[in-house]
Structure 1
Amino acid sequence: MLMKILFGVAVVLLAFIAFVATRPSTFKVERSTTMSAPPSVVFALVADFHKVGTWSPFLKPDPTRNDTYAGTPATVGHSIAWVSSDNANEGKMMIVSLNPPEQLQLELEFIKPFKATNGTVFRFERAGNGTTVTWVMSGQNGFLNKAVSVFMDMDKMVGSSFEEGLATLKNLAEAEAKTAAQAAPNDALVGDPAK
């Protein structure tokens, strides 16, 4: 009887491993939103990692985490490295290429609790008087990630955080754009001394 149970468990385990092996070897999560702010304003909020914590759910201020910044904001090599006080969570994000204010490419390296390196791209496309921001993360699915994807929908899980971050980014960018517009001289009066 015990041998039959062990054989049955082995068959199920082998079937699960075979099924996991058929899962996609890459993943991609993508979300977009349009905001009433020029690309330059939105780009500045994303390309400065000192500001990213004001809108990204992944880098919200956390007293149990130590953040280290390096490089000049909005330039290749600008980075943030983080580690939790108990050393259970560690990683680094760095700008690897940029085309201001249209695109920003990042390398996202997770060290703990699991190792992974993912590419992240932000695109800023003018949409009338505003900007459509697209946030994309892609990477390789190792066996562990494939196994996890059997039980959890990564697109849905990470995508909901992207949506939350983009909504907060929209609010901040639109507030900054409004403040800048109010501080600027009235265009209708510029160059018309009669008014």
Structure 2
Amino acid sequence: MTIERSIEIATVPATIHPHIDNFAAWRAWSPWEDLDPNQERTYTGPAAGVGAGYAWKGNRKAGAGSMRITGSTPERIDLDLEFLKPFKASNAVTFELVPHGAATRVTWRMTGKKNLFFRLFGFIINPDKLIGKDFEKGLTTLKAVAEAR
């Protein structure tokens, strides 16, 4: 399974990178931050870059899981993503920041195996459409945040 969305952001990669490379900064743009206002958040390791970790636990919509940054260069950030609730899944996430003139093309990609939930309900729920909408919302908000700086 691969889910991918891209957007052009009118600034250089160095302006966008800190918004992705630091999980605390995700609160300003992540499409899932507003699912549960009482969500528990735990940050581990360094504040940003390789080794930075983030875990969340919230209501049924927010679920529970964790992320860890496994690679970070000016052009790319790699994450390991583990969902615990509402279903278990392990995914690799990549953000690519490619200069495009005075702008940057940001691509958000998640890859992994379809878990039992998506195999059973895949005929009804298309994971690309379901999660793709969240990626689009997050990228649009990331664009607004990055371009405001």
Q: Which residue of 1 aligns with 2:84?
A: 111
- Tell me the secondary structure at the aligned position of residue 50 of structure 2: coil
Distance 1:85 1:159, change over 3 A: closer
**Structure-2 residue corresponding to 1:144:** 117
CA distance in 2, matches of 1:63, 1:171: 22
1:40: which partner in 2? 14
Question: What are the within-5 Å matches in structure 2 for residues 1-195 of structure 1?
Answer: 27-60=1-34, 62-84=36-58, 89-99=63-73, 101-176=74-149
Report how many residues are paired.
148
TM-score by length of 2: 0.92
Bigger Rg over Cα: 1
Contact 1:54–1:60 (CA under 8 A) maintained in structure 2: no
**Unaligned residue ranges in structure 2 (runs of 5+):** none
Secondary structure, aligned partner of 1:72: coil
Q: Deviations over 1:97-126 (max 9, x none)?
A: 111x10000011011221111110000000
Q: Which amino acid aligns with 2:10?
A: S
CA–CA separation in structure 2 for the residues paired with 1:39 and 1:118: 24
- 1:61 CA drift (Å): 7.4
1:72 deviation in Å? 1.8
Runs of 4+ aligned residues of structure 1 deviating over 4 Å after TM superposition are: none
Between Structure 1 and Structure 2, the one with more helix by share is 1
> Unaligned stretches of 5+ in structure 1?
1-26, 177-195
Report the residue type matching 1:102 in the other structure.
E
Contact 1:47 1:74 in 2 (8 A): yes
Percent sequence identity over matched residues? 37
User: Cα distance 1:92–1:147, how it changes in 2: closer, same or farther (>3 A)?
Assistant: same
Q: CA deviation at 1:85?
A: 6.3
Counterpart of 1:66, as a letter, is E
Structure number with greater CO (CA < 8 Å, separation at least 6) is: 2
Q: TM-score, normalised by structure 1?
A: 0.71
Output one character per residue of 1:111-148: Cα deviation in whole Å (capped at 9) or x when no partner: 12211111100000001111100000011013432111
> What is the root-mean-square deviation of aligned Cα atoms in Å?
1.7
Distance 1:175 1:144 in 2: 39
8 Å CA contact 1:69, 1:80 repeated in 2: yes
Aligned AA (1:48): N
Alignment partner of 2:128: what SS?
helix
Relative to total residues, which structure has the larger strand share, 1 or 2? 2
Matched position secondary structure for 1:53: helix
